[in-house]
Amino acid sequence: MNLGAHNKNERHLTEKLSTSGFRFTPQRQSVYDVIMHKRDHPTAEEVFIRAKKQMPEISHATVYNCLDALVKSGLIRQVQLERGATRFCPNMEEHCHYHCGACGKVFDMALPKNFTDMPQPKGFKADHYDIAVHGLCADCAGKRKN
Amino acid sequence: MNLGAHNKNERHLTEKLSTSGFRFTPQRQSVYDVIMHKRDHPTAEEVFIRAKKQMPEISHATVYNCLDALVKSGLIRQVQLERGATRFCPNMEEHCHYHCGACGKVFDMALPKNFTDMPQPKGFKADHYDIAVHGLCADCAGKRKN
DNA sequence: GTGCCTCTTTAGAACTATTCTAAATCTTGA
DNA sequence: TCAAGATTTAGAATAGTTCTAAAGAGGCAC
Ligand SMILES: [Mn+2]
Ligand SMILES: [Mn+2]
Ligand SMILES: [Zn+2]
Ligand SMILES: [Zn+2]
């Protein structure tokens, strides 16, 4: 394991948290780590399960609080792809989500430049974009045909 | 009130329902009507409240069932803009949603042609796009500054 | 270092949105 | 006319999230 990279991540976490008025805590570190480690799109419940492995005493409410702090600090993104549990995304680049309705998998795809230049309601002050494509992933599309 | 238009809507409803394997029912009509009438983005609960005015005996579960049937028949769209209740949209044109995080208002904007030509994961079979822009509407952006 | 204020965590209760269940009712079509 | 299946209903159950109150920890003034 690369200790340099580890320290760099921790500095980044501490900085981003504190500029948003949050303190560094081991729980926030832990939640951040599990999301950054397996770069998928887990629900709060999945984050809770993973975080418990490193920190068995962590509570449900804390996971929600930490996720909220991380989102507000611009360290992770919140995505609402469908009815039900919110998911969290470690990728802070501009990207869109391809969501397979059969297996639930989520794929990140970078967006073309100027993609978000679109007509706006007069005076609207845009903060962020959520672009999702729903359908079937290659595997599931194959299975359906047979 | 224009009876011609009313009958046309009802024919459209019946046709779309039946091609998806659903029957026409007064409850489905009622739910469809309240969504088409005030062309906003209500939650299931709001639809329930409005539908009760015309049909006081309608139940909660039926509103959910009807909304589901209408979505599956391609008569309305389901949109998940944030954590919490799902909203429903009467506009079946390709459009995106501008969502004000302060007052909750939702604005439809038509999408430019070819907007949805974007890089795809290999083999992905896209069904539909959900494009949302989160921020502040003109009114709320004004209030914040003052 | 001590005290004080605020932030954070915790367990569990509460709440909100949605789905499920089982019985009654309605529709369709043999 | 009757059986089979679809639909509606009230209320129970479930899932996901937020709230609450008490305990713990960190930072700062003195
Ligand atoms: Mn992502
Ligand atoms: Mn809309
Ligand atoms: Zn799939
Ligand atoms: Zn607003």
A18-42 pLDDT, tens digit per residue, is: 999 999 999 999 999 999 999 999 9
The whole-angstrom separation of Cα B127 and Cα A135 is 5
Please, are residues B70 and B32 in contact by the beta-carbon 8 Å criterion?
yes
- Count of pairs with CB atoms under 8 A, one residue in A, one in B: 125
Strand partners, B126: A135
Give B8's pLDDT tier (boundaries 50, 70, 90): confident
Residues of chain A positioned with their CB less than 8 A from the CB of B114: none
Of residues B57 and A7, the one with the higher pLDDT is B57
The whole-angstrom separation of Cα B132 and Cα A101 is 19
Give A1's pLDDT tier (boundaries 50, 70, 90): very low
3-class state of residue B105 by DSSP: coil
A3-79 CATH pick, 2.40.50.140, 3.30.1360.170, 1.10.10.10, 1.10.460.10: 1.10.10.10
Q: Which fold has domain A93-145?
A: Dna Ligase; domain 1 (3.30.1490)
Closest nucleotide to B56, Cα to C1': D9
Q: What is the tens place of the pLDDT at every residue in A47-99?
A: 999 999 999 999 999 999 999 999 999 999 999 999 999 999 999 999 999 99
Mean pLDDT of B111-116: 79
Average pLDDT over all residues of chain B: 91
Residue A21 half-sphere exposure, CB side, CA atoms within 13 Å? 2
Residues of chain A positioned with their CB less than 8 A from the CB of B82: 80
Give B89's pLDDT tier (boundaries 50, 70, 90): very high
Rounded CA–C1' distance between B122 and D17, in angstroms = 36
Q: Where are the domains of chain A?
A: 3-79, 93-145
Please, are residues A136 and B124 in contact by the beta-carbon 8 Å criterion?
yes
Closest nucleotide to A80, Cα to C1': D16
pLDDT of residue B57: 95
Residue B143's alpha-carbon distances to A123, B19, B103, B139, in angstroms, are 12, 48, 11, 6
Q: CB A119 to CB B107 under 8 A? A: no
